[in-house]
Amino acid sequence: PISDISTWLILVFVILSIVILVEIIFAVRSLRQTPLPPVPPKIVALRGGTISLLSDKKVYQVGEVLPVHVQISTGGKKTDGTDLLLKFDPKILEASAASIVRGDLYTDYPPVAVNSKTGTIGFSGISSTTGFSGTGLFATINFKAKLRGSTALIVDFKPGLTTDSNMVENGTSKDILEQVVNLNLDIQ
């Protein structure tokens, strides 16, 4: 009787193996004969430009240098230039034209305007030939911490206004700046 059971189990195993093999062959043939639908292209929603203020850390000590990176993103559009008007608290932070390291996104960077009494920095990058499209480092501003306290660095921006921060689209002179990311810091 044991040999009958083992023979029966072997027979069941062989039959199941054959059924599984036939199913696999059928599935492979079906997949080869049925064309797959084409993959639709991925749709990417392009936005307007963005200016973001970034720092290596959020807490600094009095006397310490605070590198603030100004990153721009054109939202996939080509630009002829970017204007930055930045506000800071001159009681807590100190900046000068020499503390600004310009990026290389544009071919020309006119002189920087720093008003240490009102706490404003203004500068531009322009390109008369190639323009810039993408995301990159517009500048690094090396502030010096003067006094303890919480402070904010604010990109002066109001949609539709042309006397503040702007990003100029190539060929249209349209301001495509839509969003800014400000920065809050603590000085201890």
The mean pLDDT value for 9-26 works out to 84
Amino acid 17: pLDDT: 86
- Regarding predicted confidence, which is higher, 46 or 181? 181
40-70 pLDDT tens trace? 555 455 578 999 999 999 999 999 999 999 9
Task: For residue 137, count CB atoms less than 10 angstroms from its CB and return exposed for 0-12, middle for 13-18, buried for 19 or more.
Answer: middle
Q: Calculate the alpha carbon distances from 15 to 20, 23, 27 in Å.
A: 9, 12, 18
Amino acid 35: pLDDT: 60
Q: Are 89 and 66 in contact (CB under 8 A)?
A: no
Q: Which helix (H) or strand (E) holds 7?
A: helix 2-33
Share of the chain above pLDDT 90, in %: 66
Q: Which of 26-30, 48-52, 180-184 has the lowest mean pLDDT?
A: 26-30
Q: Are 137 and 177 in contact (CB under 8 A)?
A: no
86-133 pLDDT tens trace? 999 999 999 999 999 999 999 999 999 999 999 999 999 999 788 899
